Amino acid sequence: MAQQPGIIAIIGWLTVCYILIKVTYIIGIYLLPSRITHFAHVTPNGDSPWALVTGASDGIGTEFARELAHQGFNVVLHGRNDAKLSLVQEKLQKSYPGRSFKVLVADASRVECVNCIKSNQRTQKEAIGKGAPDFKSIRAALDGLHLTVLINNAGGGPSNPTFQLLQDFSEERIANNVSLNALFPLHLMRELLPTLSQNGPSLIMNISSMSDAGFPLLSSYGASKQFLMNLTRTVSLEMTLDDAVGRVEVLGVRVGRVTGVSHCDVKPSLFMPSSQTLARAALSRAGYGHGIVIGYWAHALQGVFVDVLPTWVEHHFIQTVMKKERDTELANKSD
C-alpha cells in the first residue's frame, strides 16, 4: 500500500509529459510557414497551375477558392447549383482579375451505388441523366488544364433535422450522405490521380471533421468522414510505393466548427474561427507530409484536451454536447 502514492505520482508525471509532448508537437506544426505555393508551379510551356475545389459554392469551399486564387492558382469551382457557382465565380473574378475560374456542376450526393451499376450502356446513360455524376466526363472537362491541386471539400450531414438516431434515418438520407462524403471523393481521386501524378508535385487535400471520431446523432456523417480519412491514409501510402506516383501529397485535414456557414453565422472567436481563417490555416498545413492533421491550431488544442480525458468522461462530455445540439435544433424548429 505504501507504494501506491509513488505509482500515482509516476502516472501523473507520465500524463503531464504526454500532454507537453503533444502540445509541443502541435506548436511545431502550426508555426511552420505555408508551402502551398510549392504546388503552384508553371509548366515549361508557361501553363499556369489550376486547383479544383469541390463544394465551392459557399462557406469553407468558397474561402478555399479565394485563398488559392490569392496564392497564384486558377480555380475550378465545383458544386451542384449552377447559379450559386456562377455568382461565386463573378465575385472571385472581380477580386482576382489576373486569375481564371471555371464552373463544374455535379451532384456529389448522387453517386451510383454498386447495385445500381449495370453493364448495359443505355442504363448507365439513363442513370447519369437522373443526376448521377459522370466521373469520366468530369475528367474530360479538366483536360488541358495544368491541374496540381484537388481539394475534396464537398461534404456535410443530413439536414432538417441534422441530429438523429441512426434508427430514425431513412435509407435515402443515409445513401445520399455517404455518397457526398465518401463515394464522390473516392471516385474523383481515382479518376484524377493520373493527371495529378503527371503534373506533380501535386496535392490532394481531403477535408474531414472532428466528429469523425464518432459523435452520436451524426452516424452517417461521422462514419463517412472517417472513411475519407482512412482513404487518405491508404492512398498516401500508395503514393510511396512507386516513384512515378509519389509526386502527389495526400493530406487529410480535420476541422472543427467555423462561422460564415449556413448553420453557424455568428461572430468568430478563438475556438470558432471564420471560414476564411480556417481555409488559410488548412492550406498552410500542406507540403510537409503530415498525413492527417487538424487544420486550425485552437481546434488541435481542443483535441488534446479530449484525448487526455478518461474514456467514460469523454463519452459523457460528447453525449452532453450532442444532446444540447439536438435540443437547440428542435427548439429553433418549433419557433
Tell me the CATH number at 247.
3.40.50.720
Q: What would the pLDDT profile of 135-183 be if each residue is shown by its tens digit?
A: 999 999 999 999 999 999 999 998 889 999 999 999 999 999 999 999 9
pLDDT band at 28 (very low <50, low <70, confident <90, very high): confident
Question: What's the pLDDT score for residue 184?
Answer: 97
C-alpha–C-alpha distance, residues 220 and 174, integer Å: 6
pLDDT of the residue at 116:
52
Q: Which three cell numbers stand for residue 271?
A: 475556438
Question: What's the chain's Rg over C-alpha atoms?
Answer: 21
pLDDT the model gives residue 138:
97
Q: What is the number of structural domains in the chain?
A: 1
In a domain? residue 227: yes
pLDDT of residue 206: 98
Q: DSSP for 28-61?
A: HHHHSPP-GGGG-PPPTT-PPEEEEESS-SSHHH
The x, y and z cell numbers of residue 60, run together, are 469553407
Would 232 be classed as within a structural domain? yes
Phi, psi of 274 (to 5 degrees): -75, 160
How many C-beta atoms lie closer than 10 Å to residue 315's C-beta?
13
| Whether pLDDT at 198 is above 60 | yes
Contact 216, 166 (CB under 8 A): no
- 332 in any annotated domain: no
Task: Give the range of the structural domain holding residue 134, as residue numbers without chain letter.
Answer: 32-117+129-306
Query: Quick one: pLDDT at residue 119?
Result: 40
238 confidence band (pLDDT: 50, 70, 90): very high
Under the banding of pLDDT at 50, 70 and 90, the label for residue 121 is very low
Q: What value does the mean pLDDT of the chain take?
A: 89
pTM of structure: 0.89
| Of 1-15, 39-53, 95-109, 312-326, the least confident | 1-15
pLDDT confidence bin for 246, thresholds 50/70/90: low
Domain for residue 107, yes or no?
Answer: yes
What's the confidence (pLDDT) of residue 263?
59
Q: Has residue 216 been placed in a domain?
A: yes
Q: Flag whether 320 is in a domain.
A: no
> Is residue 223 included in any domain, yes or no?
yes
Q: Is pLDDT at 106 greater than 60 in this prediction? A: yes
Look at residue 164 in the predicted model and tell me its pLDDT: 95
Find the Cα–Cα–Cα–Cα dihedral 43, 47, 49, 51, rounded to 10°: -130
Are the C-beta atoms of residues 208 and 228 closer than 8 Å to each other?
yes
16 assigned to some structural domain: no
| CA 189 to chain CA centroid, nearest Å | 13
C-alpha cell at 78: 465545383
